[in-house]
Amino acid sequence: MSAGYFPKRTKVGLEDLFKNLITASHILHHHGILDAYGHISVRSPDNHATFYMPCNMAPALLSSEEHLVEYNVEDGEPVEKHAKPGYLERYIHSEIYKRFPSINSVVHSHCAAVLPYTISGVPLKAGIHMAGFLGSNVPVWDASSHYSSGSKHDLLVRDTKLGASLSAAFKPATSAGFLYSKVRSALPAQIGGAPPDPAKEPDHAVVLMRGHGFTTVAHGIEEAVYQAIYTRDAAKAQMTALMIHDAHFGHVVEGKVDIEGGGKIKSAKVKTEGDVKFLKDSEAHDAWESIRGTIERPWRLWCREVEVNPLYRNDCPGCED
C-alpha cells in the first residue's frame, strides 16, 4: 500500500481504490460531467507502471471490481490479455501518466458547459475562487494538427501519438502567468516515496480539446473530481458573466463613415464599457492553495449523494487502515 491518494490517509489498499474509482464515476455522472461517455482513471498504488479505469460502459452503471481494467502506462494496453473491452481513448490517460510521474488520476469529459470554450476562441479563465486551479490561461489542444497519415479525423485520441501530443499541452514551453505546478510541487510526497520534481509537474490542471471536451489531471481521485466539477462551474459562471455584461453595457462601433462608398465604416473599432473581472495570477494561485486542503468536505457530500441515489450501485468492499 502507498501514500498520496486520499486526504488524511497514510495508506490505501486496492479495495478502497476500486470502491472510490467507481464512486467517482457515479459522482461525475450525477453532476453532469460524464454522461454515457467520458471516464476517470487512477494509477495503481502498488505498481507505478499501471493504472485502472472502467471498462467500456456508461459510468453511472459501474458497480463492481469486475467493471475495472488494469492497463500498462507504457502502451495503454490491458495487463490481462482477456480483459473486458476498454475505452478507445484510454491513451489520454496512459500518456499523461507516462509524462507526469506524480499524476495519479485523470478525468476526461465532454461537458456541454465547457464545450463552447473549445471552439469559440474565447479563453476559459479562473473567474471564481473555487476554480483557482484554472489560472489565467487554459490551453486548447487541437487534434487536427496531429493526425497520423491515413488515420480517422474524428477528434478522438485513439493512439499513443495523439495521447502524447495532448499530454504535452499540460506543460507548454512558457514561464509566464499562473503555473499550476507552483502549487502542486508543494503537495506531500507521492507514491514511490520521492518528492515531486517541479520540472516533471504539469503547468496546467486542465486542457481543453477543440470540439471535443476537456481533460484534467490531479494527484488523487478526490482532487480530479473536484477539478472536473469546478471547471464546469467556472465555465457556466464565465458564460453568464459575458452574457449579462454584453446585455447591460452593449457595444458601440466607432469609425469614419465612407459616404461615397455606400456608408461603410472605415477603421471601425468596437468600444465596450465595463470589464469581466477574472482572478489575477496571484489570486488564482492563493485561492487554489487555500481550497485544495478542504477537498475532503465536498468529496464526503458527493459520496453521500450517490450513495442514497438508487441509480448507483457500488458493491466493492472497502477496507480500513
Catalytic residue list? 89
Q: How far is CA 139 from CA 70, 203, 207, 220, 272, in A?
A: 29, 10, 5, 22, 26
Sorted by sequence, the CB contacts under 8 Å of residue 177 that are 6+ apart come out as 135, 136, 137, 281
- Helices 221-249, 14-30: crossing angle, 10 deg rounding: 20
d(CA 94, CA 107): 12
d(CA 256, CA 264): 8
Distance from chain centroid for Cα 265: 44
Q: Which three cell numbers stand for residue 298?
A: 465536498
Burial class (CB in 10 A: 0-12, 13-18, 19+), 199: exposed
Of 238, 242, 234, which Cα lies nearest the Cα of 214? Answer: 234
Q: How, if at all, do strands 140-141 and 206-209 pair?
A: parallel
Compute the chain's Rg from CA coordinates.
Answer: 21
Instruction: Check: CB of residue 136 under 8 Å from CB of residue 284.
Output: yes
For 214, which DSSP code? E
Residue 119 burial (CB count, 10 A): 12
Sorted by sequence, the CB contacts under 8 Å of residue 79 that are 6+ apart come out as 50, 70, 71, 72
d(CA 299, CA 226): 8
